[in-house]
Amino acid sequence: MKHWLCALAVMSAGTAQAVDLQLPAGARQMIVRDTVQDRYFAPIAPFSEGDLPTLMLEGAVARSAWRVDVAGLTPLQLITPLRDQLLAAGFRIVLDCAALDCGGYDFRFATEVLPAPNMYVNIRNYHVITAQRGALDSPEVVTILTSASSGGSFVQIIQVGGDAAENRIDAVSGRTSTLSEGDIDETLLRDGHVVLAGLDFQSGTSELGAGPFSALADLAQVLKSQPEMRVALVGHTDNVGELDGNMLLSRDRANAVRARLIEQYGVASSRLDSQGMGYLAPFTSNLTEAGRETNRRVEAVVLGN
């Protein structure tokens, strides 16, 4: 993969205020993936000659995906006001292309996309822009990907620099999502996902403690009050050990939570999926023990109603 402009640009915390983008009124946040220290390969040109030119960036990365429940919007209609906001904020557009012009299927699978069903890309109907502002040795970069199909419209936003992970975009209220032990119902309905705090697993195993766990009781209550809602339980680990082992452990822990919700709280099995991400989606840095402990978690992610 070719890296243009800078082989490596280091994002220093606090260099600038992250740009505050306003999404359409019908936008609903589906997923957030923020990392304090990470790499992002921002696309800066269409896929060509078997490769996608990118700008490699390091530092705080904020990723989010949104579903826009407004009928008939095209990817261009979705992205145009966001592009205008970036230009007004002093950004320079370095990539602006649609579907076939970007490289179609090849571009879609060469660039970073958040997992379905939270983000969906129609390979025949999407638009992408990458914008940059600031010095070349420490730029702030935003990539926006929009897509539309008969099932709905989606927006993905990835920000690097400008305190990106501390100033997460929120189209509704401007609030930031936090790793909180309370208000599961409010957080789940607002953000589309929530960490199930306070769960107790035996070290290195998927054996869930006896409890009781207030997070599971609260989640069961939300599902009772929202009878059409389905959720995925997603396990996460720290970065200690091999990926294959962590993927298995995270999936087994999600399965253990699913089983407890079914057996103890009477949640229908058809309303619960379970997956494991291993260490691929950390909530924060794995460089400290406190960070690793935070990253060992199970999240509930809304799949839809």
In this structure, the answer to whether residues 224 and 124 fall within a common structural domain is: no
- Whether residue 176 lies inside any domain: the answer is no
In this structure, the answer to whether residues 281 and 141 fall within a common structural domain is: no
In this structure, the answer to whether residues 216 and 131 fall within a common structural domain is: no
Domain with 231, as residue range(s), is: 184-304
In this structure, the answer to whether residues 162 and 202 fall within a common structural domain is: no
Residue 180, both tokens: 């909180």
- Count helices and strands in the chain by DSSP H and E runs: 7, 11
- Whether residue 148 lies inside any domain: the answer is yes
Residue 20, both tokens: 């505050």
DSSP secondary structure string, 211-224? ---HHHHHHHHHHH
The pLDDT tens digits along the chain (305 residues) read: 443 333 223 233 333 345 678 887 778 888 888 888 888 999 999 999 899 999 999 888 999 999 887 777 899 999 999 999 999 889 999 999 999 999 999 999 999 999 888 899 999 999 999 999 987 777 899 999 999 887 689 999 999 986 543 433 333 333 333 344 446 777 777 778 888 888 888 767 888 888 888 889 999 999 999 888 999 999 998 888 888 898 999 999 999 999 999 999 999 999 999 999 888 887 777 777 777 888 888 999 888 66
Give the C-alpha separation, 94 to 213, whole Å: 49
In this structure, the answer to whether residues 162 and 19 fall within a common structural domain is: yes
Q: Which of 149, 107, 109, 114 is nearest to 128 (CA)?
A: 107
CA–CA distances in Å: residue 26 to residues 23, 119, 126, 198, 242: 8, 16, 19, 33, 41
In this structure, the answer to whether residues 126 and 46 fall within a common structural domain is: yes
- Whether residue 111 lies inside any domain: the answer is yes
In this structure, the answer to whether residues 249 and 134 fall within a common structural domain is: no
- Whether residue 179 lies inside any domain: the answer is no
- Total domains in the chain come to 2
Q: Which of 166, 194, 209 is the last residue of a domain?
A: 166
In this structure, the answer to whether residues 157 and 192 fall within a common structural domain is: no
In this structure, the answer to whether residues 214 and 159 fall within a common structural domain is: no
In this structure, the answer to whether residues 131 and 32 fall within a common structural domain is: yes
> Which residue stretches of 120-213 are H helix?
184-191
- Whether residue 229 lies inside any domain: the answer is yes
Beta carbons of 278 and 202 less than 8 angstroms apart: no
In this structure, the answer to whether residues 145 and 240 fall within a common structural domain is: no
